Amino acid sequence: EETGFQSQLWDGNREWIILMGCVCADGSGISPNLTHQTVSGNIQDTWLQGFSPSEHKCNFISSPSGWTNNDPGYKWLVSVFDKEMKTKRLLTPGGHGSHVTVKFIDYCNRNRILPAIFPPDSTHTVYSLDVSLFSPRAIAYSDEIEKFLSKFWAALSTVRNTYKRKPSILDLS
């Protein structure tokens, strides 16, 4: 039933992480980079719970703002993209500063990587995947999370007889 209200089922305790990923023309992918926000530059063990280097191919980096900048973009190019994609390649990044530095472009030229750089904040208009693949997936994912949390909170409330407060997702005691 449409109510006109957007429902939100979380405790508000969230932080952003930035994903740098790459999907190849044949549908395969390469290891993503996850950027965490930390002033110290250290990735905390608690952020990697459930991660197993022998099972999962993923790289973790940090930045003070949590956003990518020149350094993480360049590190991803050298340590992930170049190592996992060895033939001549076409890379289509957004035109933000982390992708259009002289150092980034020079590395691409020396290593047979052809960067087709889009203007900043324009990839949503030129990438059909944003509309045809990622948008429906994001909606479906949000719907599934909402269903899970609704059932989870209902079960906790029933078991504990705590109808007056919404339990924390992490509070399982």
Tokens standing for residue 25:
């023309």
Task: Say how many domains are in the chain.
Answer: 2
| pLDDT for 81 | 85
Q: What is the pLDDT of residues 13-42, one digit of tens each?
A: 667 777 777 777 777 788 888 888 888 878
Strands 33-37 and 59-63: parallel
Amino acid identity at 151: K
Looking at the fold, whether 119 and 132 belong to one and the same domain comes out as: no
> Domain range holding 22?
18-126
Looking at the fold, whether 79 and 157 belong to one and the same domain comes out as: no
Domain annotation covers residue 6: no
Residue, of 1 and 33, whose pLDDT is higher = 33
Distance separating alpha carbons of residues 161 and 138, to the nearest angstrom: 33
CB 114 within 8 A of CB 89: yes
Tokens standing for residue 133:
């693949």
Looking at the fold, whether 119 and 135 belong to one and the same domain comes out as: no
Domain annotation covers residue 169: no
Looking at the fold, whether 40 and 102 belong to one and the same domain comes out as: yes
- Among residues 8, 74, 82, 5, the alpha carbon closest in space to that of 35 is found at 74
Q: pLDDT category, 110, cuts 50, 70, 90? A: very high
Q: What is the pLDDT of residues 79-107, one digit of tens each?
A: 888 888 877 678 877 666 666 788 888 99
Buried/exposed code over 148-166 (b: 16+ C-beta within 10 A; e: otherwise): ebeeebeebeeeeeeeeee
Average pLDDT, the chain: 71
Does residue 164 surpass a pLDDT of 80?
Answer: no
Q: What is the pTM of this model?
A: 0.52
Radius of gyration of the chain (CA): 20
Strands in 33-37's sheet, in edge-to-edge order, are: 18-20, 33-37, 59-63
